[in-house]
Amino acid sequence: MSAHPPSSTRDVRGLPSFAQGVSFSAYTSVDEQASAFDGWDAQYTQISGGTFHGSLSTVSLGGVRLLVEGLDKVIFQQGAIASDRLVIAVPLELEGHARLCGEKSGRDSLHVFSSLPRFEFYSPDRHMLVNVEIQDQLLSSSRMRALAESLRARSLAPIIPMASDTADHLRLLLQHALAASALTAENESDRERVLERTVMYAVSEALSNAPDSDSKRTHGRHWNLVNTVNEKLREPSTCPLSIAELCVDLGLSRRTVQYAFHQALNLNPVAYLRAVRLNHARRALRSGQSVTSAATTWGFLHFGSFASDYRRMFGELPSVTARRYASKHD
């Protein structure tokens, strides 16, 4: 996005990015990648271990933007979409356990990130989505604005399954649009309007047979439990440091909590708690805190174990992170 200059001249599909309105950035920090989505208010938490590599290609087509995001780690995404836009994502790659707002997702599903006031997306490590972002007031014609208004009037579920041939057709069309937008042309504005119109109708057609969602839809009980735990994990004062503390706070048995996390995230709660606390510690280090302060704040009292867990999660020792960001806060 504009706040982060492109770090390469090629997008995630290997397309040359020469045209106006096309950009590409690569990231090694989940926080930097999350902040690249202006209007999304997103926060990413890295769940699987190893050095993170992500990418974001942006193609602007009038009132439509195509945001092609690639991630190579399991990420728990949380956020909210600005009220002036619709966001409907089409997976190019999506392999592994994935859920959007508690609903099981797959490669042949539309992901409607703007369907609820806030979204939670548990994404697998094989993950590349084309996010189709629509802003009504920026669309090029009254016809396109009316189409966008008709989509906005619908109450759409977070996950909308598609037939395999429909999903393949939509993926191919978006890849062609990305390829066309990446090449310079004399008639940029005319081509932009054609691509905007093509994408708008393709997405609308894919949604044409989607059932409306009850706006008061409730999540499954397992996902509700995960959300309850996430609320506790926001602040050090309420963040449980062990599964025992979590179970006592919730008034639930260890077996119940373990089963809920397995169903919702395909992960045990001990690993999840540790991953979230490590992410908090990393943000503290990036803000200029010392290793001792960051570890202690988030309940890591055995510094040797903390350093080992941190390196396993992020691919570097906490002292390396601290040194890299200390100079920025002097």
CA distance 49 to 153: 41
Q: Do you know the residue count of the chain?
A: 330
Show the tokens assigned to 296: 């202690």
CA distance 147 to 163: 23
Q: Tell me, what's the pLDDT at 42?
A: 95
CA distance 39 to 26: 19
CA distance 294 to 176: 47
3-class secondary structure, 43: strand
CATH 2.60.120.10 maps onto the chain at 22-207
How far is C-alpha 104 from the chain's CA centre? 15
DSSP 104: E
Q: Tell me, what's the pLDDT at 223?
A: 93
CA distance 308 to 198: 51
DSSP 28: S
**For residue 158, which phi and psi values (nearest 5 degrees)?**
-60, -40
Q: Identify whether the C-beta of residue 44 lies closer than 8 Å to the C-beta of residue 34.
A: yes
DSSP 2: T
Show the tokens assigned to 156: 């759409």
Per DSSP (E only), the strands in 124-244 are 126-135, 159-161
Show the tokens assigned to 254: 């260890």
3-class secondary structure, 74: coil
Q: Tell me, what's the pLDDT at 8?
A: 38
Nearest Cα residue to 196 out of 239, 133, 283, 240: 133
CATH 1.10.10.60 maps onto the chain at 221-329
Q: Tell me, what's the pLDDT at 189?
A: 83
Class of domain 221-329: mainly alpha
Q: Tell me, what's the pLDDT at 191?
A: 86
Q: What is the CATH number of domain 22-207?
A: 2.60.120.10
Q: Spell out, as residue ranges, where the chain has pLDDT lower than 50.
A: 1-18, 215-218
CA distance 41 to 114: 12
Q: Whose structure tokens read 């002097």?
A: 330
3-class secondary structure, 262: helix
Q: Whose structure tokens read 């271990």?
A: 49
Q: Tell me, what's the pLDDT at 6?
A: 36
Q: Tell me, what's the pLDDT at 248?
A: 94
**Residue 71 host element (H or E):** strand 64-71
**Residue 295 host element (H or E):** helix 291-297
Nearest Cα residue to 192 out of 25, 66, 15, 88: 66
